[in-house]
Amino acid sequence: MADKHLQLTVRVEPAYLANVIKLSGSLESSNAEEIYQEINQSIQQKVEIIVIDIKELKIINQGGSNILENCQRIAKKYGIQLFLSREFL
C-alpha cells in the first residue's frame, strides 16, 4: 500500500530576475510554511517572476490548493508575477 502522506520537497533554482520553486511529493496545509518561506525569500531578493513547478507533485489536496492561491495573492501584493507550471524545463 502506498504511503498517503508523502513528504514535500522544495527546491529553489534561481534564474535571471526569477526564482523557480520546484515541488515534489505532497502539497497540503501542514507543509505551507516551507512554501511561504520560499515566497518571502523571493520577495526579499526582489525577483520579478516566481514559477512554482508542480510537475513532480503526487498529491495536492484542498489545503495545498489554498496555499497556491495564497501565494498568488502574496506575489500580486508585491508586484511579482507568479506562474504555475507542469512543464518547466
Give 10-residue mean pLDDT values along the chain (89 residues): 63 84 93 93 95 93 96 97 82
Q: Residue 16's pLDDT is what?
A: 79
Q: Residue 88's pLDDT is what?
A: 54
Please indicate, yes or no, if residue 72 is contained in any of the structural domains: yes
Q: Residue 11's pLDDT is what?
A: 83
Quick one: which of 20, 31, 28, 24 has its CA closest to 10? 24
The CATH number of the domain holding residue 66 is 3.30.750.24
Query: β-strands 49-60, 81-85: how paired?
Result: parallel
Please indicate, yes or no, if residue 68 is contained in any of the structural domains: yes
> What type of residue sits at position 17?
L
Please indicate, yes or no, if residue 4 is contained in any of the structural domains: no
- Specify the number of domains making up the chain: 1
Please indicate, yes or no, if residue 1 is contained in any of the structural domains: no
Please indicate, yes or no, if residue 15 is contained in any of the structural domains: yes
pTM of the entire predicted model: 0.84
Domain that holds residue 23: 9-85
Please indicate, yes or no, if residue 57 is contained in any of the structural domains: yes
Q: Residue 41's pLDDT is what?
A: 95
